[in-house]
Chain A
Amino acid sequence: DIQMTQSPSAMSASVGDRVTITCRASQDISDYLAWFQQKPGKVPKRLIYAASSLQSGVPSRFSGSGSGTEFTLTISSLQPEDFATYYCLHHNSYPWTFGQGTKVEIK
């Protein structure tokens, strides 16, 4: 099974900060990776698909990069509405797995 290691598990940041979250796959997953944002009590929302493609309607401050085994979600300038938990997901081979999540909190 492919393991997804997401880091950090939590972080504190200020509005305007540049934030980077990483997911590492235990094997090559090409670009079969998506990123999701989830706020408390809400449904996960897809931000990025195919590792670097921005979901329609998602602000351009969100970007994704990487392929193979290392992937990054970057928020270029953190906004108040971005405080949430972020998850990566690989869907390259079964079983698909989510990263453990990164909780972004207000500093």
Chain B
Amino acid sequence: QVQLVQSGAEVKKPGASVKVSCKASGYTFSSYSIAWVRQAPGQGLEWMGWIIPFNTNTYYARKLQGRVTMTTDTSTSTAYMELRSLRSDDTAVYYCARVGLGDSSAAFDIWGQGTMVTVSS
């Protein structure tokens, strides 16, 4: 079945980096983009950006530009999100989600299970 499986929980110190993976299966990875969304404890959903696997075009939320990098490995159908210079307010659950390319029917239809990233000294 179509699914996205994310890497496990992480605990990082302030100033460190974290890299979360999102492995796709059950569909043609390069035919869809991958968006990343995060949710701080008790807060709402925040769109972080997205990447198009077949051409690696990216778009990042302005507040994260310079600290976030999204990449893909089409050979393993895996997307990655790296966040650097971590701060306590980066503590959140990070989700990946599938997004269609010019096709609203696939916009955020499939989500990963989420990865908890805790930033604490």
| Given A43-B111, A43-B113, A49-B109, CB of A31 within 8 Å of CB of B104 | yes
Query: Which residues of chain B have C-beta atoms less than 8 A from A91's C-beta?
Result: 99, 104, 107-108
Q: Is the CB of A46 within 8 A of B95?
A: no
Contact residues on B (Cβ < 8 Å of other chain), bracket = 20 to 34
Complex: how many Å from CA A87 to CA B97? Answer: 15
Interface of A, secondary structure class, is loop
Interface string of B5-19 (1 = CB under 8 A from A): 000000000000000
| Given A87-B45, A91-B99, A98-B46, CB of A53 within 8 Å of CB of B105 | yes
Interface string of A15-42 (1 = CB under 8 A from B): 0000000000000000110101010000
Binding site for A on B (CB under 8 A): 35, 37, 44-47, 59, 61-62, 95, 99, 104-105, 107-109, 111-114
